[in-house]
């Protein structure tokens, strides 16, 4: 059995998740907000792997869900970047505060 | 005497957290992306340490080789290679830090207080087992979500092309 306690991995993923939350809340640049989002998704992946390895090692579904999350994160990042590039082309900025043309 | 794998775990954790924190506080967008790259590599190292090699390979191929490169491309496409972002407002920074710390305190306390009972058998992640899980037809296989993800990736690809395409009116 591995020597790393499960609690330490959970604390690591918690800290990483809330670092991502902090970045998402404080940044106004859309690409920087996307980076915070990627950190959050990765911390969730760490949790899936850790729970699968420690609590249900006879099954393998946690690893499968990690793979699906990675695939969906790739699709999400690609769509987000397409939207950001389109926004930059029409308004010449990528600031979340100033992007209000759909608001009124 | 501490276990070597525990020392390696603490080193990798510190690396992930420091580079992750630099990602969200660096004022230059490009440096932020590079810090994100190192944080994701650190997470791949953590998967290697946990002996889940397939997840580590997927992490390096898709995140480090795909998403970070996509983010760096988009930074250059929006002409912000060396641009520095203004520091966030004091109020927004403090509120964001307070929210993040409160959440981390609550979740961290809960995770640390609960008594987990690890199962004392080794975690078998052989490639054939992963293949049977993803595209097998036996009980508990994830073949339907696997196919749905392929449809999702196709839809996302077409959607990206449509969204990012220049329309004919703009060119004239």
Q: List the domain range (segments joined by +) for residue B141.
A: 124-172
Distance from CA of A12 to the nearest CA of B (A): 7
Question: Which two tokens mark B106?
Answer: 């609550």
| For testing contact with chain A, the best of B10, B160, B161, B165 (most A CBs within 10 A) | B160
B169 pLDDT band, cuts 50/70/90, is: low
The residue from B30, B54, B83 where one domain ends is B83
Q: What is the pTM of this model?
A: 0.90
The residue from B22, B52, B83 where one domain ends is B83
Residue A87: partners with Cβ closer than 8 Å, 6 or more residues away: A30, A93, A94, A99
B14 lies in the same domain as B73? yes
Q: CATH number of A6-91: 1.10.287.3510, 1.20.1090.10, 3.30.465.10, 3.30.428.10?
A: 1.10.287.3510
Question: Which two tokens mark A97?
Answer: 């505060």
Beta carbons of B111 and A7 less than 8 Å apart: yes
| For testing contact with chain B, the best of A17, A36, A58, A64 (most B CBs within 10 A) | A64
B79 lies in the same domain as B11? yes
Beta carbons of B119 and A86 less than 8 Å apart: no
The CA distance from B37 to B19, in Å, is: 9
Domain ranges of chain A: 6-91
CATH of residue B58: 1.20.120.1200
- Is the dihedral angle over the CA atoms A49, A11, B26, B47 positive or is it negative? negative
List pLDDT tens digits, range A6-15: 899 999 999 9
B64 lies in the same domain as B135? no
B149-157: long-range pairs with CB below 8 Å, 24+: B149/A68, B149/A71, B149/A72, B152/A71, B152/A72, B152/A75, B153/A71, B153/A74, B153/A75, B156/A75, B156/A76, B156/A78, B156/A79, B157/A78
The residue from B59, B83, B107 where one domain ends is B83
Work out the average pLDDT over B137-147.
86
B5 lies in the same domain as B58? yes
B81 pLDDT band, cuts 50/70/90, is: low
Work out the average pLDDT over B38-63.
94
State whether residue B61 sits within 8 Å of chain A by CB: no
Pick the range with the lowest mean pLDDT from B26-35, B53-62, B65-74, B161-170.
Answer: B161-170
């Amino acid at each position: 059995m591995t020597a790393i306690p499960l609690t330490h991995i959970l604390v690591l993923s918690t800290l990483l998740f809330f670092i991502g939350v902090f970045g998402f809340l404080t940044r106004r640049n859309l690409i920087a907000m996307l980076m915070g989002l990627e950190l959050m998704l990765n911390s969730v992946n760490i949790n899936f792997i850790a729970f699968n390895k420690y609590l249900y090692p006879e099954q393998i579904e946690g690893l499968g869900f990690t793979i699906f999350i990675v695939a969906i994160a790739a699709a999400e990042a690609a769509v987000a970047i397409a939207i950001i590039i389109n926004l930059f082309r029409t308004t010449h900025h990528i600031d979340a505060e100033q992007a209000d043309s759909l608001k009124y | 005497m501490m276990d070597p794998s525990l020392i390696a775990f603490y080193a990798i954790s510190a690396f992930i957290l420091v580079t992750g924190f630099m990602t969200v506080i660096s004022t230059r967008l490009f440096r932020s992306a590079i810090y994100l790259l190192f944080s994701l590599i650190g997470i791949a190292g953590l998967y290697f340490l946990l002996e889940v090699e397939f997840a580590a390979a997927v992490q390096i191929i898709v995140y480090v080789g795909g998403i970070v490169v996509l983010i760096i491309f988009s930074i250059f496409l929006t002409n912000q290679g060396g641009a520095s972002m203004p520091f966030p407002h004091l109020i927004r920074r403090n509120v964001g830090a307070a929210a993040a710390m409160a959440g981390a305190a609550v979740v961290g306390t809960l995770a640390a207080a609960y008594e987990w009972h690890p199962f004392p058998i080794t975690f078998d992640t052989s490639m054939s087992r992963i293949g049977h899980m993803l595209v097998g037809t036996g009980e508990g296989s994830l073949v339907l979500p696997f196919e749905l993800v392929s449809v999702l990736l196709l839809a996302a690809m077409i959607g990206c092309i449509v969204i990012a395409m220049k329309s004919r009116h703009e060119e004239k």
